[in-house]
Structure 1
């Protein structure tokens, strides 16, 4: 009887170990894909937008994949650089003061929609339109997205999948 318990325990432990290793491997692959392209985007931002210090890099996938590099220029001004994954598309750079803040984007969304909880706010781009993507839970606890024009502060699009 003790032998059967030992065998079952060993099999369960082995299955658990394999599960943990598999999850870790899949997670590493997924995170590697998310960050793939960040170094090249930083180089393009430094070269084309004269960024001297990089604060962070985010990946946005909409109609086309974009990397948004936040950094400082020589005058120590916060600058956002939208770097398309495709080298054929143009890089767009704007000083933070040329557009609205993330808080102003959230306020614009709250004026138009019932927002029960804001989940995330990040920069985005569709074509040449620079945006803030506001992710939130609506009154029905559904994930919703609103896109706010970075320059004008106008809500461009609301989506509830």
Structure 2
């Protein structure tokens, strides 16, 4: 009986901690989705990205009411919203393959879309062969490598 009670308490504690740790991301996604629905006529959500470099951006990848696949990039501060059609640039998968070809990362840890110098970019964060954190910014428009930081 004591063992069962201990297991229940530990499981409940783990759930509470997990909920508190993931709450900011859930809240950001919910708020970004509402804005995307209102201003970009978003109908469905496929992915959510949280980009944090010079500024923080939340990006919703989905489909609008006209059945167009779009990215809705929302600035955390100021709420500026940019909408990009999938066919006007490269996908996160393509950006990933560009980084893999260029740097042969040991492990890609994150892919996120945001804005850098007022242009849409894919940020790819990864571990290199020395297990050091690195990141690349890849242009959404043409797939060119805009910035690389190695061995952080």
TM-score for the superposition, normalised by structure 1: 0.76
Residue in 1 aligned with 2:126? 136
Contact 2:59 2:113 in 1 (8 A): yes
Contact 1:146 1:156 in 2 (8 A): yes
Q: How does 1:58-97 map to 2 (within 5 A)?
A: 58-86=49-77, 88-97=78-87
How many Å separate the matches in 2 of 1:92 and 1:40? Answer: 15
Q: Does 1:104 align with 2:84?
A: no
Contact 2:50 2:112 in 1 (8 A): no
Contact 2:50 2:113 in 1 (8 A): no
Deviation, 1:15, is 8.1
Residue in 1 aligned with 2:46? 55
Q: CA RMSD in A?
A: 2.6
SS at match of 1:123: strand
Deviation, 1:124, is 2.5
SS at match of 1:141: coil
Residue in 1 aligned with 2:33? 42
Residue in 2 aligned with 1:8? none
Residue in 2 aligned with 1:3? none
Gaps of 5+ in 2: none
The structure that has the greater radius of gyration is: 1
How many Å separate the matches in 1 of 2:55 and 2:119? Answer: 12
Q: Summarize the Cα distance change of 1:48–1:127 in structure 2 as closer, same or farther, 3 Å threshold.
A: farther
Deviation, 1:37, is 2.7
Residue in 2 aligned with 1:27? 18
Q: How many residue pairs get matched?
A: 151
